[in-house]
Amino acid sequence: MKIVRTAAALAAALPALALADASTWTIDPAHTRVGFSVKHLVISDVKGEFLKAAGKATLDDKDLSRSSVEANIATASIDTREPKRDTHLKSPDFLDAERCPELTFKSTKVEAKPDGTLKIFGDLTIRCNTKAVTLDGEITKAITDPWGNTRRGFSATTKVNRRDFGVSWSGPTDAGPVVGDEVKIDIQAELLKAKPGDKS
């Protein structure tokens, strides 16, 4: 009976032991870029980015599969260097920023590959519609910056079909649609390790 109780206590303690190996990191918005590109008139790529992003990651270097990441991006912060186009992209024709003020991502599973890269599975919400996506990611080793902060780099890419998220506006041309359906997403971020006493 004593053995059973000991085994049960160990089983209950395992999640806490796993968390003890994990560390919390926050996205540094000043050194983060959430970019995208999409075909225009079939012949060229229009690139843009979202200027306001926040989020955090819980990383377990002993077992990255126990890690997680989540991010929030302000829809209205979209920037393609063309104000009229940006206004259209914020409208109900595209991202409907007033009704859906945030794009979000929350991981559900992380796989570490033998080559050091990551497969990050999660739920992506665009225009108030949530779909499962997979990110191809990489994370660097930690370094200490000149101000004593612990940092590491994180990058991730994926491709989504905008119509899956209810973003369907386009128009016909002789060559094809005005706006392509496939959107390439490219994230380059710096993560800051939380210090004792920081709020999560």
Return the CATH number at 170: 2.40.128.110
Q: Structural domain of residue 108, as residue ranges?
A: 22-193
Residue 10 within a domain: no
Q: How many independent structural domains does the chain possess? A: 1
Reading the chain (200 residues) residue by residue, the pLDDT tens digits are 555 454 444 444 444 444 457 899 999 999 999 999 998 877 788 999 999 999 999 999 899 999 999 999 999 999 999 999 999 999 999 999 999 999 999 999 999 998 889 999 999 999 999 999 999 999 999 999 999 999 999 999 999 999 999 999 887 777 777 888 899 999 999 999 987 666 65
Q: In this structure, which amino acid lies at residue 180?
A: G
Residue 57 within a domain: yes
Q: What is d(CA 64, CA 83) in angstroms, rounded to the nearest whole number?
A: 41
Q: For 101-152, give the secondary structure using H, E and C.
A: CEEEEEEEEEEECCCCCEEEEEEEEECCEEEEEEEEEEECCCEECCCCCEEE
